[in-house]
Amino acid sequence: MTDDIVYLDFAASTPVDERVADYMRECRELSYGNPSSNHAAGRRSRALIDMAAAELGALLNVDPDTLVWTSGATESDNLAIAGAARHRAHRGKHLVTMPTEHKAVTDVCSMLENQGFEVTWLEPDDAGRLDPTVFAAALRPDTQLASIMYINNETGVIQDIEALGHLCRDSEVLFHVDAAQAVGKIPIDLGSLPVDLLSLTGHKFYGPKGIGALYIADRPGCHVEPLLFGGGQQRRIRPGTLPAEMIAGLGRAAKIAADRIEDDLEHLASLRELFWGGIREVDGLLVNGEFDAGFPGILNVSVADVEGESLLLSLEPICVATGSACNSQLQEPSYVLRALGRSDLEAQSSIRFSFGRPTRSEDVEYAASRYVTAVQRLRSLAPGTAA
């Protein structure tokens, strides 16, 4: 964190924890060998990877052998959905997901749709939640996979993964969960949670970028076909030389998260409450998602009569995310907020504030003050308002 910015975009990425960075520096000295090599240097790298798998496995309560290393959640999502779809094509070509999923899910589902798969896109309610009865009604004998994200990256809405997972088990449907925003942030016990495939990435919970993992449950029929070819690593599911130093960093981030998760949640809840207290009197505020039942690290708000892009620039040097078209690479208002029934203008004016472990109370108070001032200024500039 530098002094010239206030970073409130932890849902996009988190800074690497200093302990993780220190550990990765130590590992760099040890991990130059190819972990697939049987000589001493290779075995040292392999040992670091095994240690990381144990640390991540402990966080999720799974056997480390069920973890496949990837380049991040996007690859994990692609591998899970496309890989499972190809492996289970004999069962049918029906998939179930939501339009509010991350693009790493919706785009691969659309790609499969173009290849002859049928995708049922389930609409959320106004708060962004998926009703399990709606989900159950969508599952068919030819449904081979359902993919639902744990915590929505834009709104912080938490889906009832346990209920949805049981419905999948009852219907013998593979259940994939994009947990990029959830792993290391909320307790996840895959020993009891009925999830078959789970995607995660290191940089969302204070680990390095460029490394993630896919959990593949050790159950009959739960398997994915590879998307990459060229080696026997990771049981041929995801070949390629493993980056031991990066994996070690992810593992250490997982270990730290396991120790801190409850404290982090309490910290985030207090920050969000403090921020909300600072802005709640602004006329025309609209919370996108669920305040009480949502993930406390994310607060997404729209505001009436204010243009989103100007609001975003007015907030600088506060780093936040927006549903405004002009500052996204998509050049369209947030499709997630549109799926929640928000108008283009409401989506345009949305700002996602996301808090993190290093966020201080004074950061949040400053951001709230700047937000209120910016809204007042922009409204005063608009035609039809008082001078």
Partner 1 sequence: MTTGPYSATVRGLFADLEHAGDFEGATLARIDDQGVRIQLAAGHENGLLRTLRFRAWGCPHLLAACEAFCAEYEGRPASDLGDFTVTEILRNLSIPVEKTGRILVLEDAVRSLGRSICDGSVPQVS
Nearer of residues 191 and 383 to partner 1, judged by Cβ = 383
**Nearest approach, Cβ of residue 307 and partner 1 (Å):** 6
Minimum CB distance to partner 1, residue 317 (Å): 7
Interacting residue ranges for partner 1, rule: CB under 8 A: 4-5, 305, 307, 309-310, 313, 317, 326-327, 331, 378, 380-385, 387
Q: Nearest-CA neighbor of 251 among 6, 27, 5?
A: 27
- The least distance separating partner 1 from the CB of residue 104, rounded to whole angstroms, comes to 24
**DSSP assignment letter at 136:** H
Nearer to partner 1, 40 or 387 (CB): 387
- Asked if residue 48 lies in contact with residue 31, where contact means CB atoms within 8 angstroms, the answer is yes
For partner 1, the closer CB: 222 or 345:
345
Between CA 307 and CA 324 the distance in angstroms is 8
Give the residue from 34, 42, 1, 59 showing the smallest Cα distance to 251: 59
Residues labelled catalytic: 326
Read off the DSSP letter of residue 198. Answer: E
Instruction: Supply the minimum distance, in Å, between the C-beta of residue 350 and partner 1.
Output: 15
Nearer to partner 1, 28 or 377 (CB): 377
Cβ distance to partner 1 smaller for residue 119 or 326:
326
- Cβ–Cβ < 8 Å for 142, 90: no
CB of 8 to partner 1, least distance (A): 16
CB of 377 to partner 1, least distance (A): 9
236 contacts 39 by C-beta, under 8 angstroms = no
Q: Tell me, what DSSP letter sits at residue 122?
A: P
Collect all residues with Cβ–Cβ distance below 8 Å to 289 and sequence separation of at least 6. Answer: 127, 128, 152, 154, 155, 156, 157, 298, 300, 340
C-alpha to C-alpha distances, 331 to 109, 324, 328, 344, nearest whole angstrom: 21, 8, 6, 12
Alpha helices (H) in the chain, listed in sequence order: 18-30, 40-60, 73-87, 103-114, 132-138, 161-171, 244-279, 308-315, 335-339, 344-348, 361-381
Give the span between the Cα atoms of 258 and 265, in whole angstroms. Answer: 12
Q: Which is nearer to partner 1, 106 or 350 (CB)?
A: 350
